[in-house]
Amino acid sequence: MGPLRFLDVLAFRLYNRLRLAPRDTAWIDRTVDQFRARYPADLTRVPQIVVSSPNSDEARAFLARLTPDVVIARCKVMLTPAIFQLPRVGTFVLHPGICPEYRNAHGCFWALANRDVGRVGMTLLRADAGVDTGPVYLQAGSGFDESRESHTMIQYRVVLDNLETVGAILRALCRGEHVPPLDTSGRRSAVWGQPQLTAYLRWKRTARQEVQPRDAHGVAALP
């Protein structure tokens, strides 16, 4: 990315840690508590393993022993075929971004920074050997207020607000029902990287000038 963009990324990380992270952390804690109350479960009964890498031999043996129908990958590590091909139905990713336009990291951030607000959302896709290139089963958005909320809040919200639909699709696939993937052929495909401070400040300045919350389709909610 070159030295200037690299410094831009480092500047954002420092800004994020000092200015954004405390509020984001408090919001995440409140949201997790709400979901625990909504979906009570005894997690101590769920088999667990702690490994240095999800691609390790220990992880593969653990999954093979459980013989799962489906796996949801909530990690930032590229999984090897030996891992993502183990489940009967497949390994699925809840990507905070619309694919193929916003693949890799921080898809919501870059859609906002690019003023591509109609593509601020999440993608449910089945993992393959590429970077967010597998078959897409859902693309959905959520209401958000970009003038007040951070990109972290928005990218979590677009996933959390669509969990019921995600669950219905995964259950249907596990039952063997025909759920056709979405046709994404012919659409622009791009891989994005880490947020940059200049892009963040430009986004926020534009968002505050508009001062209009967006609905689940990225449309401004007018009074």
Q: What is the per-residue pLDDT for 221?
A: 47
Alpha-carbon 112 to chain mean position: 14
Whether 127 and 91 have beta carbons less than 8 Å apart is answered as yes
Local structure of 214: helix, strand or coil? strand
**CATH number, domain with residue 131:** 3.40.50.170
Residue 221 lies in a domain: no
Residue 149 lies in a domain: yes
Q: What is the per-residue pLDDT for 212?
A: 59
Q: How far is CA 161 from CA 68, 94, 164, 165, in A?
A: 25, 12, 8, 9
Residue 31 lies in a domain: yes
Q: Are strands 90-95 and 103-104 parallel, antiparallel or unpaired?
A: unpaired
Q: What is the per-residue pLDDT for 222?
A: 38
Residue 222 lies in a domain: no
Q: Which two tokens stand for residue 151?
A: 């990109």
Q: 21-38 vs 151-160: helix axis angle to the nearest 10?
A: 10
Mean pLDDT by 10 residues, the chain (223 residues): 91 96 96 93 91 96 96 92 97 96 95 95 96 96 92 95 96 97 95 96 92 58 41
Q: What is the per-residue pLDDT for 70?
A: 97
Q: What is the per-residue pLDDT for 214?
A: 59
Residue 103 lies in a domain: yes
Please tell me the distance from the alpha carbon of residue 79 to that of residue 86, in angstroms, as a whole number. Answer: 11
Tally the domains of the chain.
1
Q: Could you list the residue range(s) of the whole structural domain that residue 167 is in?
A: 3-210
Residue 219 lies in a domain: no
CA-angle at 217, arms to 211 and 219, nearest 5°: 35
Q: What is the per-residue pLDDT for 223?
A: 38
Half-sphere exposure of residue 204: CA atoms within 13 angstroms, side-chain side: 12
DSSP for 60-119 reads HHHHHHH--SEEEE-SSSPPPHHHHT-SSSEEEEEESS-TTTTEES-HHHHHHHTT-GGG
Residue range 90-120, pLDDT digits in tens = 999 999 999 999 999 899 999 999 999 999 9
Residue 216 lies in a domain: no
Residue 223 lies in a domain: no
